[in-house]
Structure 1
Amino acid sequence: MTPTDARRATAWQVQSLLLGYPDEQVTARLPLLRAATATLPPAPGAPLDAFLDHVEATPPIELAADYVATFDHRKRFSPYLTYFAYGDTRKRGMALLRFKHAYRAAGLVLDDGELPDHVAVVLEFAATGDAAVGLRLLTEHRAGLELIRLGLREAGSPWAHVLESVSATLPPLGRREHEAVARLAAEGPPEEEVGLAPFAPPEYMPPEYTPPEYTPQGGPR
């Protein structure tokens, strides 16, 4: 692993932790997270430092409530990447299968009930599983990531800093990506075709969007 690859993996790992539910473990890890961001270049590191400043200055219960209000109650900021590409359609079920197969090929198995396209899960896989495959998955869903980033920034959300850091680890947006972001912003995710049954097994089909439950450790389920 080259120094550049190692720094990108570090950035992905920190981003993954900060895009999960902000439980007491995040607060306990602040010194470690600060040490990690200190090793990063300014583009991915400075936004993470800005978010960590916010974490340190915000009461944990307020931070958790803001997380739930931002990511669980607003589809605009859904942390599930395939939602932006496929909406709640049958094609999304197949996309979820692709994520699971990628994880299994790298020897990683998700907890029961954990959707594989949660951005925190994808970032953790990219950091600790297969970096090349993780980068490809993130890049393929770049339009959704960019839409989340722009929306969070417009809303003045502190989590915009984390998405800015994610963007700094990915290739620059090309013309097609800019067009995809504009189209997605104007039209929203696809809607289901009437009368077509899903092709993926039922256990891999996404449920109707509801706020996710959390484990005792606070991770998304």
Structure 2
Amino acid sequence: MTTALADADRRTALAWQVQSLLLDYPDGRLRERLPLLCRAAENLPCEVGGPLLTLCSHLDTTPPAALAADYVDTFDHRKRFSLFLTYFRHGDTRARGMALLRFQHAYRVAGYRIAPTELPDHLAVVLEFGATVDFEAGRRLLTEYRAGVELLRLGLREHGSPWFAVLESLSRTLPKLSRRERALVARIAENGPPEEEVGLGPYSAASPAGPAARAQGGATV
């Protein structure tokens, strides 16, 4: 588990953990956690915690059936809002399969295990890894796929999704986009991810969408 972090990094780790949990499917378990998540968000800098409090309020006041339908319509039915970070850069190509192995290697080195049916680049899984297991390795992965985070943020904002708040909060914990990353975001936004359908190698049988499976020994705020 992440230990001995500087104060700023400790606050970032807390933010990532809250963000990870708020990206889960909005079921009864998430509703039970909302008061704790709200208190955690209140202890974050306002520019990071504020968006999370907005989402917490939405989750608390919206009927469960409406939340579930919105979540599924947003994340399960629209590749544009994929929670899998490598999709934006690589699409469903052989290169994506190799990128997934990089995530899996980082987890293996840290002794972190995820459900065998879960792809390792799911944003909630990466956030939980960085928050509770290896902060620096998690930050490297999020930074490497910073353009994907930005594309998801922009898409959710344009769609008016309440889950935009999580990406807005996350983006404020990451480095600003470089010129190269801004160009990549613009190119993918215009042309979409690569479309070569060659499978994902060892991950081709994993679920392509849906809520994140909690890693074994999952996080608690």
Instruction: Normalising by structure 2, report the TM-score.
Output: 0.89
Which of 92, 95, 98 is residue 102 of structure 2 equivalent to? Answer: 98
Structure 1 residues 176 and 214, CA, compared in 2 at 3 Å: closer, same or farther?
Answer: closer
Matched, 1:185 2:184: no
- The AA in structure 2 aligned to 1:149 is R
Q: How does 1:1-221 map to 2 (within 5 A)?
A: 1-192=5-196, 202-205=201-204, 209=208, 211-212=209-210
> How far did 1:120 drift?
0.4
2:181, 2:212 → 1: CA distance? 33
Structure 1 residues 60 and 50, CA, compared in 2 at 3 Å: closer, same or farther?
Answer: same
- Is the contact made by 2:24 and 2:212 (CA closer than 8 Å) also made in structure 1? no
- Is the contact made by 1:88 and 1:206 (CA closer than 8 Å) also made in structure 2? no
1:212, 1:56 → 2: CA distance? 21
- Taking every aligned residue pair, what percent have the same amino acid on both sides? 60
Superposed CA RMSD in Å reads: 2.0
Deviations 1:53-101 (CA, angstroms, capped at 9, x unpaired): 1111101121111111000000000111111111000111111111111
1:188, 1:171 → 2: CA distance? 24
Aligned positions, number: 210
Is there any run of 5+ residues in structure 1 with no aligned partner, and where? none
- The AA in structure 2 aligned to 1:2 is A
SS for the counterpart of 1:29 is helix
- The AA in structure 2 aligned to 1:177 is E
1:214, 1:31 → 2: CA distance? 21
Is there any run of 5+ residues in structure 2 with no aligned partner, and where? none
My pick for the range that moved more, 72-81 or 175-184, is 175-184
- The AA in structure 2 aligned to 1:45 is G
SS for the counterpart of 1:61 is helix
Deviations 1:4-39 (CA, angstroms, capped at 9, x unpaired): 111100000000001121121111011111110111
2:15, 2:212 → 1: CA distance? 24
2:54, 2:17 → 1: CA distance? 17
- Is the contact made by 2:119 and 2:206 (CA closer than 8 Å) also made in structure 1? no
2:207, 2:106 → 1: CA distance? 24
Moved over 3 A (4+): 205-209, 211-215
Deviations 1:155-195 (CA, angstroms, capped at 9, x unpaired): 111011110001011011121111111011011111228xx
